Structure 1
Amino acid sequence: MSADRIVLSGARLVLPGGVVEDGRLAVEGTRIAGLGGATSAGDLDLTGYTVVPGFVDLHVHGGGGASYASGIAEEALKAARTHLEHGTTTTMASTVTGEIDEVARQAAVLSELVEDGVLAGVHFEGPFISRNRCGAHRPDLLRDPDPALVRKLVDAARGHARMVTLAPELPGGLESVRMLADLGVIAAVGHTDSDYARTLEAIEAGATVATHLFNGMPGIAHRAPGPIVALLEDERVTVELINDGVHLHPSVLGLAYGTAGASRVALITDAMGAAGMGDGLYPLGPLQVEVRDGVAMLADGSSIAGSTLTLDAAFKRSVTVNGLTLGQAVESLSAAPARLLGLADTVGSLETGKNADLVVVDSESYDLVAVMRGGRWITGAEWLVPRAGQPATGSVRR
């Protein structure tokens, strides 16, 4: 076996066409080179483990004690590395509400990391959101989505702005949605006080994402269905869900899946700097967040402030608590967000020719065991053991 070729065998593989037991997957360089074939000496023995495609996170603010909103490249690298070690091989960096010029500066820093291949793009969450539904965003810094201001942030990202969350009921909201759609930037409805009719208008104008559906928007009433119903019922909309056991009751998550289906759900973290860390005080843009028992709240206790979730934990919870099939979980954690970002040709599924972005989990506990990105082991290398007959080049054994 050549130094740049790795073959995994004996694993359960979650493929687009279904789950394959005792599967075999070959990696050459940075790509998946093939699936199937006879087991041979030197293969990496993954009997008892499950291999899924690397996770794709559309919405994450930080991790490892670091924040993307810091505007510091070293912090952004630390945040990205933390989530990579938990299986997120493709990640968007999300900002938070701040002064327009400061958010533009942050976007310029993050864009350099997109160009370096660390990040997949920039997501602006705020300041174009409703004061009534602002959550962990400073109300005094919120702005109406004037198309000129929205365009200023998009331009600051130098072609790497991938998504903007806004409240379409605000002045300039629908115009900004149309402008974003024309620019090829995803317009997301979130932190909104919009009603059902205005949300439908936003979708017709080009909005295609619901930012953390249910959170930061009115609930469903029998005579006032609000934005949730409009976003769930339209097949053009992908809905983000935070499956950490805090943001959503399991029955609500089940309702979303029953209505939209796994192909229209993107499981996200919405994680702030405490992800991968312990309890304590952390910054979230200009605000202070206190984490207790893994739950992030504004220090004044007024709102949940993102999450401490990582996507390996979301994967495990989805299968063991929510009862999703492996195929449904992979669809929402990898394939659906990859399609939304226009990256499905290279990431989001285990297929020949795609990037060798892999997550290995225990087939019984679903705990994360190893992560590979671009054909290189990120974690798990210390357990790599080959089948008999060849020197060690990689396989997971503990």
Structure 2
Amino acid sequence: MSITLSDARVVTPEGVHEGWLTIEDGRITHVGRGAAPGPGLSLGGRHVVPGFVDIHSHGGAGGSFPSGDQEEARRVAALHAAHGTTTIVASLVTATTNELTRAASALADLCEDGLLAGVHLEGPYISKARCGAHNPALLREPSVREFTELLKAGRGHIRMLTLAAELPGALDTIREAVANDVIAALGHSDADYEQTLLGIEAGGSVATHLYNAMPPLHHRDPGPIAALLEDERVTIELVNDGVHVHPAMMRLAYDVAGPGRTVLITDAMAAAGMGDGVYGLGPMRVEVVDGVARLAGGGSIAGSTLTMDVAFRRAVQQVGLSLPEAVEITSLTPAKVLGLADDLGSISVGKRADLVVLTDDLEVSGVMRHGNWTTAPR
């Protein structure tokens, strides 16, 4: 099947231009400027950006990845796809070994079906002092043996592990993760500057939701934030919902790390796409009030109700990024983190036709995945 999208404002790594693109068999075959050479589907001057890539999401549409329920997982993926996320990693939370094994195995099936891009183990090897919405009773020291069991359950689809670098056994577990092509992410950590540097040297290459669930930046005690920001080997995650991180701190992190080391994530939980109410996040009870998720009783922030289109829009409208910059941190850089940048993350010839059509106000108007419309342009 071949389709040409014409009369579009195409956002590529080189900038924004009036033009067109052709898709054949799910791949981008031509990207041109000006009028299309033949008939096509006119987008009426709307923007076209690559599909968003979310490397850290727990749920949405009332469903949750940590449940390990495949129908819930499909519902989560569909909700985020409707908001432009064409590649999503399923994030789990701290649980027992049996629960994590069961969820990892069930979600691995959906990875093999192409619905999910992998599984992220956020915990259980995190700090009690910085555990946020994780059950402190289930936290434990990093274990290479247990991690190996989880890898087997995930059948090669465990893509990322978040852990605290200061815990006993953490450095060995980081090395084991890297040796098995799993991204080692540092977060939910009470580490100081030096301990964080050791985690990076062991192979830690992602900062799990920078600023959140870690000691704050201080001029006499720089802590993990400074270590993670200054090291060129580390990609930083940011939750751009206006709740987790102030726009000024978003700009500070972006100015230091730049588009090549910054990714926006949703950290979404079951309430994304839903209304206020009470929801579950693993074994924890979460109350959502005015769109903000916190542990029941007014506790810690417990994920978000964010979708990637909102994060993208805020990056442009509140943080002040250009469209190509916003595209890089919502598509190309996270694709690089996952090792998928040869296949997706930008509008380039040969790449997968995962596309989002946006209005002038940067609202989603259409979504294409693998060359097929999942949301027809409107």
TM-score between both structures, scaled by the size of structure 2 = 0.98
Identity of aligned residues (%): 57
Residue 32 of structure 2, aligned match among 36, 48, 55:
36
Look up the match of 2:21.
Answer: 25
Is 2:288 the partner of 1:271? Answer: no
Give 1:368's aligned amino acid. V
Give 1:27's aligned amino acid. I
Residue 95 of structure 2, aligned match among 95, 98, 101:
98
Residue 295 of structure 2, aligned match among 281, 294, 298:
298
Say which SS state the counterpart of residue 176 (structure 2) adopts. Answer: helix
Within a 5 Å distance, the mapping from 1:30-179 to structure 2 comes to 30-36=26-32, 38-40=35-37, 42-179=39-176
Within a 5 Å distance, the mapping from 1:204-223 to structure 2 comes to 204-223=201-220
Within a 5 Å distance, the mapping from 1:232-381 to structure 2 comes to 232-362=229-359, 364-381=360-377
Kindly indicate whether the alpha-carbon contact (under 8 Å) linking 1:146 and 1:171 is maintained by their aligned counterparts in 2. no
Q: Post-superposition shift, 1:209?
A: 0.2
For residues 318 and 80 of structure 1, what CA distance do their matches in structure 2 show? 23
Q: Post-superposition shift, 1:267?
A: 0.2
Kindly indicate whether the alpha-carbon contact (under 8 Å) linking 2:19 and 2:36 is maintained by their aligned counterparts in 1. no
Kindly indicate whether the alpha-carbon contact (under 8 Å) linking 1:124 and 1:163 is maintained by their aligned counterparts in 2. yes
Kindly indicate whether the alpha-carbon contact (under 8 Å) linking 1:270 and 1:306 is maintained by their aligned counterparts in 2. yes
Give 1:281's aligned amino acid. V
Q: Post-superposition shift, 1:36?
A: 1.0
What are the superposed Cα offsets for residues 13-37 of structure 1, whole Å, 9 maximum, x if unpaired?
Answer: 11122221x2111011211111116
Say which SS state the counterpart of residue 36 (structure 1) adopts. Answer: strand
Give 1:314's aligned amino acid. A
Q: Which runs of 5+ in 1 are unaligned?
A: 384-398
Q: Post-superposition shift, 1:369?
A: 0.6
For residues 171 and 188 of structure 2, what CA distance do their matches in structure 1 show? 15
Query: For structure 1, which segment, 291-300 or 143-152, has the greater mean C-alpha deviation from structure 2 after superposition?
Result: 143-152
Q: Post-superposition shift, 1:183?
A: 1.1
Kindly indicate whether the alpha-carbon contact (under 8 Å) linking 1:11 and 1:24 is maintained by their aligned counterparts in 2. yes
Q: Post-superposition shift, 1:166?
A: 0.2
Look up the match of 2:189.
Answer: 192
For residues 131 and 295 of structure 1, what CA distance do their matches in structure 2 show? 23
Structure 1 residue ranges (4+ consecutive) displaced by more than 6 angstroms after TM superposition? none
For residues 220 and 255 of structure 1, what CA distance do their matches in structure 2 show? 12
Say which SS state the counterpart of residue 23 (structure 2) adopts. Answer: strand
Is 2:251 the partner of 1:226? Answer: no
Say which SS state the counterpart of residue 144 (structure 1) adopts. Answer: coil
Q: Post-superposition shift, 1:45?
A: 1.1
Kindly indicate whether the alpha-carbon contact (under 8 Å) linking 1:62 and 1:273 is maintained by their aligned counterparts in 2. yes
Q: Post-superposition shift, 1:365?
A: 0.8
What are the superposed Cα offsets for residues 331-359 of structure 1, whole Å, 9 maximum, x if unpaired?
Answer: 10000010111101111000111110000
For residues 286 and 42 of structure 1, what CA distance do their matches in structure 2 show? 54
Give 1:365's aligned amino acid. D
Q: Post-superposition shift, 1:40?
A: 4.9
Give 1:246's aligned amino acid. V
Q: Post-superposition shift, 1:42?
A: 3.0
